[in-house]
Amino acid sequence: MRYHQSKDRNVTWACAVTAALLVGCAHHPPPRQFTADAPFSRNFAGTGDSVCWSVKRALLSQGYMLDRPNDSGVMTGSRDQQPTPKMNITTRLQTTCADNRNGTSIVFVTATREQNQLQKMQQSTSMGVGPATLTLPSGSAKVLGTVRRETVSDPDFYNQFFALVQNFVDQEKLSLAAVPTVVHPAPQSQSQPSASNP
C-alpha cells in the first residue's frame, strides 16, 4: 500500500514540475531576431556619392585594408591586431551605401571579429607498403587556428564608426561650401543695325 502511495506521489510531483516548466516557457518567448532599433544602419544628410566617399575615408583612416568591390556602394575592409605574440584578431567590416533620393543616404554596416591563436598540432608519418601501413607520430607543429568567430553586436562599436563617418560628411559639406561659385555674365543681345532707307 505504501509503495502505491509513494509511486502516486512521484507521478503527481513529476506532473507538477512539467506543468510549471511549460507555464514558464509560455511566459518567456524567444528573443526577437529582427528589430527596428538595431545598431547596424544610420541615415546621413547628403547624396549617395558624398556619403559613400565619407564611409571609404572612415575605413581607410582606421587602417582597414579595402577589398576590390564587386558591387557599387558595397565596401569590405579588414584590419588585423596582435594583442599577444600567440594571438591574432581580425576585424572585418562590410558597408553598403544607398541614396534615399530625398537628400539623405543610408549606410548599413556589419562587423565580424575572428580570433586566431597559435596552437600545437600533432603530426604523423605513415610507413609501409600496400595494406601493411604503420602510422607513427613524428612530432608537432605550431599552426594558427580559429578559436572564436562572432558578429559584433556592441552598439558603441557602431556608434563610434557612424560618428567618424559623420565627421567626414561634415568635412565634405564644408569643402563644397568653400568652392567659389563662378557666375557667368548673361550674353548681351547684339542690336541689329536698322536698314537705312535709300
Average the pLDDT over 9-35 and give the result.
59
Residue 194 inside a domain? The answer is no
pLDDT of residue 116: 92
- Domain assignment present for residue 182? The answer is no
SS3 127: strand
**141 occurs within a structural domain:** no
Higher pLDDT, 38 or 1: 38
Tally of domains within the chain: 1
Domain membership flag for residue 143: no
- Asked whether residue 29 is domain-assigned, the answer is no
Top pLDDT among 154 and 143 is at 154
For residue 71, tell me if it sits in a domain. yes
Query: pLDDT at residue 176 above 90?
Result: no
Does 48 map to a domain? yes
pLDDT tens across 92-150, in order?
Answer: 999 999 999 999 999 999 999 999 998 877 666 666 666 666 666 666 677 778 889 99
Query: CB–CB of 117/147 below 8 Å?
Result: yes
Mean confidence (pLDDT) of the chain: 80
Per the rule left: phi > 0, alpha: psi between -120 and 50, beta: everything else, 111 is beta
- Indicate the pTM of the whole model: 0.65
Is there a domain that residue 20 lies in?
no
Q: Which amino acid is at 109?
A: V
Residue 107 sits in a domain of what CATH number?
3.30.310.80
pLDDT, tens digit (0-9, with 9 covering 90-100), for 47-98: 999 999 999 999 999 999 999 877 778 999 999 999 888 899 999 999 999 9
Conformational region of residue 46, where left means phi above 0, alpha means psi within -120 to 50, and beta covers everything else: left
Q: Which has the higher per-residue pLDDT, 1 or 39? A: 39
Residue 74 is predicted with a pLDDT of: 93
State residue 3's pLDDT score.
Answer: 46
Looking up cell 548673361 gives 186
C-alpha to C-alpha distances, 89 to 14, 59, 94, 101, nearest whole angstrom = 49, 17, 17, 38
22 or 103, which is more confident:
103
Range of the domain at 80: 43-112+149-175
